Amino acid sequence: MRVVSLVPSLTESVAVSAPGLLVGATDWCTHPPDLDVVRVRGTKNPDVSAIVALEPDLVLANAEENRPADLDALRDEGLTVHVTDIRTVDGALESLAEVLVRCGAGRPAWLDAAARAWQDVEPVAPRRLRAVVPVWRRPWMALGRDTFAGDVLARLGVDNVLASSPERYPRFSPDAVGPVDLVVLPDEPYPFGPDDGPEVFSGLPVAFVDGRMLTWYGPSMVQAPGVLTAQLRAALA
């Protein structure tokens, strides 16, 4: 089996589960750090010709991260494209299992460990918290409806105040988000940090969290509950 992945999370999942299957991945596929495959540009501008030249048996994609036009171009070249659409923790576990079986990788131990890690997760606080979760600046954008990261936080007892937005990643004004208990700032896709972001949310607790733990579905799901809980609680201390 020869596999090209256009999704960083899926790249890591396949590479960890069955080393040697991947022959191509995007420039954004940073895990595992020692991954040595042909790079085929980004998730939004894949090099179709380079992918075709790799003669993959399967191309892995995601409905949110990859453009339909690019996936259609790959299909027009006769390639098989498997498109995931992951919006919840349970959905991630199910979709990852399907992807790995389709790749011929079977069911790895880490996937069962991830399922156990997300069973009966303890909330980060005695009561549920309301948070805004920016993901970009200039313009300001945040988590909206039906996102994997939003479900991750909800399982930890943190409700996204923009979850009812008609958009998955709406633009917003920091001074018009309504009452919140917490601002959650991940370090990707925008690299928020102590000197870039919290100054806009004066007076509110700010939790700096690992963006990969929050937004990636794959082996990181095993450690994510513990890492995120510690980072969120640190902001509330």
Cα 51 to Cα 54, 69, 217: the distances in Å are 5, 15, 23
Per the CB < 8 A criterion, the answer to whether 234 and 207 are in contact is yes
Per the CB < 8 A criterion, the answer to whether 24 and 37 are in contact is yes
Tens-digit pLDDT profile for residues 119-153: 989 999 999 999 999 999 999 999 999 999 999 99
**Residue 55: partners with Cβ closer than 8 Å, 6 or more residues away:** 2
The whole-chain average pLDDT of the chain stands at: 97
Across the beta sheet with 129-132, the strand order is 158-160, 129-132, 182-186, 206-209
Is the peptide bond between 139 and the residue preceding it cis, with omega within 30 degrees of 0? yes
What pLDDT is attached to residue 202? 85
- Domains and their CATH numbers in the chain: 3-107 (3.40.50.1980), 129-236 (3.40.50.1980)
Please tell me whether residue 204 adopts helix, strand or coil conformation: coil
Torsion of CA 90, 219, 120, 164, to 10 degrees: -50
Binned at pLDDT 50, 70 and 90, residue 177 comes out as confident
Tens-digit pLDDT profile for residues 204-231: 999 999 999 999 999 999 999 999 999 9
As a whole number of angstroms, the distance between CA 190 and CA 50 comes to: 28
Specify burial of residue 138 (Cβ count, 10 A radius: 0-12, 13-18, 19+): exposed
- Summarize the confidence of residues 62-87 as an average pLDDT: 98
As a whole number of angstroms, the distance between CA 215 and CA 218 comes to: 10
Share of the chain above pLDDT 70, in %: 100
What pLDDT is attached to residue 178? 82
Tens-digit pLDDT profile for residues 77-95: 999 999 999 999 999 999 9
Tens-digit pLDDT profile for residues 41-63: 999 999 999 999 999 999 999 99
